[in-house]
Structure 1
């Protein structure tokens, strides 16, 4: 029998009540800290971008792409939001997406909301941003460097977030599957999902940087920010005969 696996949304009952409560508390504390820190990052540039990336991640997460027979995945968005709006605002964006999905679309259980926020919003976003910071020198050299950085950050954040799922299952899993099976499925599949995540993240970040590099949070404060693509010059009227 093949079980359908979609990204890493935990469903109700996959971990026991104690584990759900513990990681629910972790999610609450993490989100409160992010909300406090996000106030300093929200300005006339970041606030509209935060709304746009939240809507984009929500829309793309509704689209699943096949990985293997009986298995599919979708964009997690951790590195994407971290690079564009920063880790504090980005975490809040992903948490909002997960909350709406759980309440309106039953995508992820309500009792598992804490574990899902911990994995995809906290671990995913901060892992993606940490990798992007390590590669920031590469990212600020050129648009291709930024695109490569976005790909690597997205791939790593996807795999590490899946390890969060495995750890939570190891602590209080009650789904009936062995830990080795869960590890192989989650990490193996999300290594493949990470490639798709990387391509989508790189393409999106590259598109934003091509038009408005000043909106890319990762590039803030760099000595040599990317140059905005300008419109081609229009020939002057009334040139020489």
Structure 2
């Protein structure tokens, strides 16, 4: 759902840039409370994983594909404020290095793909975990539902933005129907990827999943003849692996997905591209400002072999994203420590 330059006019693009900048500023402050020495490296890895999985377009209908947006996954794993930053880092890397998503439309994309999906998904997730039993299975189910609903929500927000600043005269009713319809299908894929990933992390390190914090089961212990409350982690106890092994395994998976599996992704246009072509939204689309980038369109310039070119671009993208993301989140974490000491 990366919006290119030319779909939305300058005033609305500027307005969404202001919204995005404000949300990022708020998220930087909020992320200080979410990140600690355990989760800061994980946040950088989450950004890299989202970048990798976004390269894996999956078919959803005749001639249409979809890909992960990632807001739900990031919010549940590392927190909603950090989640906004994770997806924003991905969008920035994609726009600058890979000519994916317009640069003047960066505010639109952050508003739509980072803010909307994260806010909607985390609100739905928190609402569900409050009423569901306190189990890992419930967290996974809540993750599935939250991710499912976040994608059509993003499609609806795009339609609203287009109604305010669209550059072509098209039927908004048809655009809304087409966008929400196809993104409901894409949402199923988003939900499956999110639930599988959250479930996998919970299985080995539930303590690192932000959305699972505070879900301990209450136990009663007898102390000096009296029953008192005690807290135990989500039961049954999960096998634990070290944070280092989890990080290395996650990075290896990201490199494998981006460097090898991405070659087999669907080549069909994604939901927005398909709707734009069918409804005439793309009539005034502009060439990307980074179209001459050596990594444009997820390939390495002057590398003729398509498999090698795409694989190298994916590996570079994962590497750059994990470095940029980890740097941002370590800086936020360090800022938290400095602020705490000053207080």
Q: Helix, strand or coil for the counterpart of 1:67?
A: strand
Query: 1:208, 1:170 → 2: CA distance?
Result: 40
Q: Helix, strand or coil for the counterpart of 2:56?
A: coil
Q: Is the 8 A contact 1:210 1:229 kept in 2?
A: yes
The CA deviation string for residues 143-169 of structure 1, in whole angstroms up to 9 with x for no partner, is 221111010000011111111101000
Query: 2:39, 2:117 → 1: CA distance?
Result: 20
Partner of 1:165: 158
Structure 1: gaps (5+ residues)? 1-7, 232-241
Partner of 1:137: 130
Which of residues 191, 209, 212 in structure 2 aligns to 1:216? Answer: 209
Q: Map residues 53-202 of structure 1 onto 2, 5 A cutoff.
A: 53-137=46-130, 141-202=134-195
Superposed CA RMSD in Å reads 1.5
Q: Helix, strand or coil for the counterpart of 2:68?
A: coil
* Pairwise CA distance, 1:222: 2.5
Q: Helix, strand or coil for the counterpart of 1:44?
A: coil
Partner of 1:230: 239
Q: Helix, strand or coil for the counterpart of 2:65?
A: strand
By relative contact order (CA 8 Å, sep 6+), the higher-ranking structure is: 2
* Pairwise CA distance, 1:70: 2.9
Aligned residues: 224
Query: 2:81, 2:60 → 1: CA distance?
Result: 31
* CA distance 1:177–1:70, shift in 2 (3 Å): farther
The CA deviation string for residues 184-221 of structure 1, in whole angstroms up to 9 with x for no partner, is 22100110000000000000000000000001101212
When normalised by structure 1's length, the TM-score is 0.89
Query: 1:69, 1:83 → 2: CA distance?
Result: 32
Structure 2: gaps (5+ residues)? 218-232, 241-343
* CA distance 1:107–1:113, shift in 2 (3 Å): same
Question: Does 1:206 pair with 2:199?
Answer: yes
When normalised by structure 2's length, the TM-score is 0.63
* Pairwise CA distance, 1:54: 0.6
Query: 2:176, 2:115 → 1: CA distance?
Result: 20
Q: Is the 8 A contact 1:140 1:219 kept in 2?
A: no
* CA distance 1:29–1:182, shift in 2 (3 Å): same
Query: 1:169, 1:45 → 2: CA distance?
Result: 41
Query: 1:19, 1:148 → 2: CA distance?
Result: 36
Query: 2:94, 2:169 → 1: CA distance?
Result: 25
Structure with larger Rg: 2
* Pairwise CA distance, 1:127: 0.7
Query: 1:129, 1:92 → 2: CA distance?
Result: 14
* Pairwise CA distance, 1:12: 0.5
Q: Helix, strand or coil for the counterpart of 2:7?
A: coil
